[in-house]
Structure 1
Amino acid sequence: MTNRVLILGGSGRIGSKVAADLLAHTQASVTIAGRNLTKGEQKSDDLGSRVQFVTIDLADQKALEAAIAQTDVVVHCAGPFHYRDAEVLKLCIQQGADYVDVSDHPSFTRKVLDYRAEAQAAGVTAVINTGIFPGISNSMVRRGVEQLDDAEKVHLSYVVSGSGGAGITVMRTTFLGLQRPFKAWINGEWRSVKPYSDREVIEFPAPYGKVGVYWFDMPEAFTLPDTFPVKTVITKFATVPTFYNYLTWSVARWWHPSWLRNSAVIEFLSHVSHFMTDVSDRFSGIGVAIRSEVTGTKDGQPMRCCSTLIHTDTAIAAGYGTGTVVELLLSGQLKKPGVWAIEQALPTDLFEQVMQSRGIKIQHQLMR
């Protein structure tokens, strides 16, 4: 029997990369879903004969339920997730379909984690926060923690070149992340942190080199301390070219918070930024760099485990991060009923196996 995968938001930049990954690494029949018929049919034609498109608005519960009822795994790529509820996951639990998403906002993560008991009772495996960051980055942290006897601190830094190839959605996500202070786990307690504050210069692999990164609200900021007994988790982000960071910093620092809670303002900022990156992408590229550093002890000695990854296309890398999880679910290698952040669900041996199959090279260094 052919496995069936439904990708919500499948005609978008990230969703279509997930579809491409599944076509390359599984025999699944893939349905991509979205609201734009013309765009969706063109994307399905581009992807090939194993892909079909269906028009679905997430607000149309009956159409969504009917589509999920015919599916083995549902992949939720319809962001930004700041605005989403847990309805897709609820329908998956009702229909017995496994669930994967590329969610990247803490508010949504908390909503879906509330359904862990229901998913466990239904035998449904739901893996959230997959993609590149969060996603592959979380599994890099898990590997680092496992290299130490005791882990005390996690420092995650991300850099994206221009748009990252992810379209306007990533612009919306960035500006929505500036709306209000957030809680960070620092020295064993939750502290309020201002978004895009506390610039810190981090050394990334070539071609990035030294880049100033800033606090950013990410779901791994609370899923990692929930998963591992660490005292501090730092999540910082930046874009290149560097002048984009100064623009984002000025918005976070000087614009009145009420402006950033206005959807029209967010759309204006997103479209202006997207226009700018259409130009700068031509010389900056659309790649991504991740640096994970886990600090702790090994054999009674202070030790750090540093892992780095670079890829020339952020959207493709995100497709790998999500596609690998779906592949493992379809093959039966990953089965853990409940709702889990990626680092809670994916064992390191499987993570390394699927990364190798995609040609993803992660550099590791254990040092004092």
Structure 2
Amino acid sequence: MMNQVLVLGGRGHIGRGVVSDLITHTPAQITITGRTAQAARDLKGYPTERVQFTVLDLADQAGVERAIAASHLVIHCAGPFRYRDDFVLKTCIEQGVHYLDVSDDRNFTRTALGYQNAAQAAGVTAIVNTGVFPGISNSMARQGVEQLDVPEAIHLRYGVAGSGGAGDAVMQTTFLTIQHPFKVWLEGQWQEVKPYTGRELVEFPHPFGRVGVYWFDMPESFTLAETFPVQTVTLKFGTLPDLYNHLTWMVANSFPTAIIRQPGVIQVLSQVSRVMTRISDRFSGTGVALRVEVKGQKAGKLAHYCATFTHPDAATATGMGTGCIAQYILSGELNQPGVWTVEQAYPTSLFEQALQIRGVSIHQCWLQV
């Protein structure tokens, strides 16, 4: 069994979720990176015989190369991925090291998938967009597609309470994502939509209830369309309390584009959001809810499949989604050289087994057509 794991960005909220899952469900020896020695304080509570810290800045390419060479698996958690390049993945392929990331950016995903042939030739299994959404959501979509004889449409709806337990990188990602129109696969063609428009009320399981969701640009909206023979893939996202939805809508649709595209403005918006959610998290919690619907035909009749997933902390759920896949790569049960998205490389049988081990389940049902 391979057991040397390098977690880039392992100090962040998402990275800590990944590390915690690895400690619980694998025998991995884990190296966490941070830009300063002071960051080692965050290792308190981890078993020192299994977790170590090393100072590493991603701008130090020679240092990154050395750290990757000493690993069997690299897990890239250092977002926002809108600002990241392909150096880590490229280096992993060159050195024959398996790779996972928690990326959630369309352009980053496109670039990564372009290394498919190189990774296959190197025998490297690389899976992008692991986590909760994208990640667990992709596996839920595959799970639904496999229930139908002819899948025709996939509808993804996500809800997050407060901050979702996330840090500044995730906050920045939200404000970066709502800056540009993007294309979605509707009725067999690519159509452009504006972010944070098309409000819809969706019923999620308790304790979420009804949540307002909006068009949101995430890579699974195009990877699912390219992976499965469906005519439509829609993806919408929203938050609790609903006040945050309205504030985000204002930023996306009322602020001058030239202003919100400035890095300094993004930083300020993220910091203000962090202050607000520190207060509201006490009341809303930091959970995540996913609702995936797949429509099509089964046994010659119209069918409407629905699956839901909830977790009390979104950052922990993200760590779980990544940790599940890491578990099987380390054990050798998941060995598929190439660069893949979750729905392409991760069998439903392993997905369901991993969640069962963690005491988590997907609620599945058929809705009336």
Task: Give the structure-1-normalised TM-score.
Answer: 0.98
| Unaligned 5+ runs, structure 1 | none
Q: Secondary structure at the match of 2:89?
A: helix
Task: Return the offset for 1:178.
Answer: 1.0
Q: Runs in 1 of length 4+ with deviation above 4 angstroms?
A: none
| Unaligned 5+ runs, structure 2 | none
Q: In 2, Cα distance between the equivalents of 1:4 and 1:301?
A: 50
Task: Return the offset for 1:2.
Answer: 6.0
1:103 to 2:103 alignment: yes
Is contact 1:293–1:307 with CA below 8 Å preserved after alignment? Answer: yes
**1:251 corresponds to:** 251
**1:88 corresponds to:** 88
Q: In 2, Cα distance between the equivalents of 1:329 and 1:43?
A: 26
Q: Secondary structure at the match of 2:178?
A: coil
1:340 to 2:340 alignment: yes
**1:151 corresponds to:** 151
**2:46 corresponds to:** 47
**1:59 corresponds to:** 59
Task: Return the offset for 1:44.
Answer: 2.1
Task: Give deviations 1:298-336, integer Å, cap 9, x for gaps.
Answer: 011110110000110111111100001111000011011
Task: Return the offset for 1:185.
Answer: 0.6
Task: Return the offset for 1:112.
Answer: 0.5
Q: In 2, Cα distance between the equivalents of 1:170 and 1:279?
A: 18
Comparing 271-280 with 29-38, greater Cα deviation is found at 29-38
Q: In 2, Cα distance between the equivalents of 1:66 and 1:121?
A: 22
Task: Give the structure-2-normalised TM-score.
Answer: 0.98
Task: Give deviations 1:1-57, integer Å, cap 9, x for gaps.
Answer: 761000000111111111111110111100011213212x11223212110011111
Q: In 2, Cα distance between the equivalents of 1:341 and 1:55?
A: 30
Task: Return the offset for 1:360.
Answer: 1.2
Q: In 2, Cα distance between the equivalents of 1:211 and 1:239?
A: 7
1:224 to 2:224 alignment: yes
Task: Give deviations 1:249-305, integer Å, cap 9, x for gaps.
Answer: 011111111112100010010000010000000110000000000010101111011
1:233 to 2:243 alignment: no
Q: In 1, Cα distance between the equivalents of 2:145 and 2:110?
A: 23
Q: In 2, Cα distance between the equivalents of 1:365 and 1:36?
A: 49
CA-based RMSD of the aligned residues comes to 0.9
Q: In 1, Cα distance between the equivalents of 2:186 and 2:60?
A: 42
Q: Say if 1:263 and 1:274 are closer, same or farther in 2 by CA, change over 3 A.
A: same
Q: In 2, Cα distance between the equivalents of 1:38 and 1:150?
A: 54
**2:314 corresponds to:** 314
% of aligned pairs identical? 56
One-letter amino acid of the structure 2 residue matched with residue 347 of structure 1: P
Is contact 1:16–1:43 with CA below 8 Å preserved after alignment? Answer: no
**2:121 corresponds to:** 121
Q: In 2, Cα distance between the equivalents of 1:253 and 1:62?
A: 43
Is contact 1:2–1:27 with CA below 8 Å preserved after alignment? Answer: no
Q: Say if 1:262 and 1:347 are closer, same or farther in 2 by CA, change over 3 A.
A: same
Comparing 313-322 with 44-53, greater Cα deviation is found at 44-53
Q: Secondary structure at the match of 1:5?
A: strand
Comparing 69-78 with 30-39, greater Cα deviation is found at 30-39
